[in-house]
A and B are shown apart, each in its own frame.
Chain A
């Protein structure tokens, strides 16, 4: 158990719908990362937050958005869903997200399986 909690574990929804995935980081971790894993694209970095602020953005679609709340939990919102959005979405967390700090390790949750039908 990594200490990163994601809900829901499984979700089935129709095209055009909107869903929210939730992540609680490990106690004390300030940084939250979101990744998408699909068979054809592999592990794709979506976005990183550090202490409530966006730190880095990867291959995140405009239909997707995220935020990190004052209690440090994070939500990933996926809207206007398409069949191709079906994937495993991972949240990960780490203590630091700042410059110049080496050895920072990220810990992954077990993921949220999204199936769009």
Chain B
């Protein structure tokens, strides 16, 4: 079945450091891939998405590229800020299963000044 595996946290970085959060997936079809972010005390918000191979999603300085050959969708940011401290969820939506969403376990990021 479909599933998402993402890097375990927590991750602690200094401000302006480079961020990578790994995400790999298993899917029967050609899924769409997403990164959601959850700030403390809030719901999940869509951060970025990609709907086909080699697409790059980007938003707020974050990027992720849909790599079909490695079934990956790693999240990157060149220079993190304290305000990026949150939990990040990788997810997929498989149109072959009625667009049911599958979420990773979440990776907690803390950025220290």
Binary CB contact string for chain A from 37 to 63 against chain B (1 if under 8 A, 0 otherwise) = 000001101001010000110000000
A90 B44 Cβ-Cβ under 8 A: yes
The count of residues in chain B whose C-beta lies closer than 8 Å to any C-beta of chain A is: 26
A43 B103 Cβ-Cβ under 8 A: yes
Q: In the complex, A99→B29 CA distance in Å? A: 11
**In the A-B complex, the 6 residue pairs with the closest CB atoms:** A103-B51, A108-B43, A108-B44, A110-B43, A104-B99, A56-B100
Known: A55-B98, A97-B98. 16 other contacts (CB 8 A): A2-B45, A43-B103, A43-B106, A45-B101, A48-B100, A56-B100, A90-B44, A97-B99, A98-B98, A99-B95, A99-B98, A100-B96, A102-B32, A103-B32, A103-B51, A109-B43
**What is the chain A residue whose CB lies nearest that of B55?**
A103
Q: How large is the interface on A (under 10, 10 to 19, 20 to 34, 35 or more residues)?
A: 20 to 34
Chain B residues near A92: list those with CB within 8 A. Answer: 44, 101
**Smallest Cβ distance from A57 to chain B, in angstroms?**
10
Chain A residues near B46: list those with CB within 8 A. Answer: 105, 107
Q: In the complex, A111→B36 CA distance in Å? A: 15
Chain B residues near A105: list those with CB within 8 A. Answer: 34, 46, 49, 93
- Determine whether B69 belongs to the interface, using a CB cutoff of 8 Å to chain A: no
Chain B residues near A94: list those with CB within 8 A. Answer: 99
Chain B residues near A109: list those with CB within 8 A. Answer: 43
A106 B95 Cβ-Cβ under 8 A: no
Q: Which of B30, B34, B52, B96 contacts A99 (CB 8 A)?
A: B96
